[in-house]
Amino acid sequence: PVHRAEPFMPAVEEEGREAAVEGGTLRVVGVEHDGAVFRFGMARLGALLGSEGWTSGDEAADGVVKGGQGASLRARNIRTGKEGAVVLWGGAPYGQGCWNPRGYATAGDWAAGDEAELLDYMQPAPAPLPVASYTRNSGAGWNLDASHIRFGRCGLVGDFWKELEVEFVLEGGAHAVGGVRTDSPADL
């Protein structure tokens, strides 16, 4: 069920967009569900991702990102030291987040004033190669297009959690690829 609440008022002040980019962090400006779900400023997330975020929808109200309406990113709660994937959803001015999947989120996971380090956005990060296009060569869950494989998007899985093949066409001339960065655990 979708829970409707009163308009959200932050419990702590949000730092500016510049602080987010320099530190790779999101500041928790408030919590819901006894700290299982946190609130953050979408402007900060937009600054980190190089965009203004995504559209909001009730699809993500239960903490499950479907249809490209949010993102799942690797994070660490600086206060608790817990590290894993967080799912982020919502719209301006304040988004919501919790440990991914939502069933792993528990009361007290987050507190107002906490900082979520987005591990793949910590500075300095190597510049990604410019991608001209993404082509999905296999089926994908929720039939999402291949561009959802990018960091800061909801992610991409194969149809019914099976094999996924995505082709990247890089901009410009020849590129030497020395490695691939992913937010998947090493044991996959």
Those residues whose C-beta lies under 8 Å from the C-beta of residue 143, and which sit 6 or more positions away, are none
Q: Return d(Cα 47, Cα 37) in angstroms, integer.
A: 22
For residue 38, is pLDDT > 90? yes
Q: Give the DSSP letter string of 27-75.
A: E--EEEGGGTEEEEEHHHHHHHHTS------GGGTTS---TTSEEEEEE
The reply to whether the predicted model has a pTM over 0.75 is: no
Identity of the amino acid at 33: H
In this structure, what DSSP letter does residue 169 have? Answer: E
Residues 160-184: pLDDT tens digits? 888 888 888 888 877 777 666 666 6
Q: Which helix H or strand E contains 98, and what residues bound it?
A: strand 94-99
Instruction: Measure CA of the first residue to CA of the last residue in the chain; give whole Å.
Output: 32
β-pairing, 37-41 vs 70-77, is unpaired
Residues 117-172: pLDDT tens digits? 988 777 655 667 788 888 999 988 888 888 888 766 667 888 888 888 888 888 88
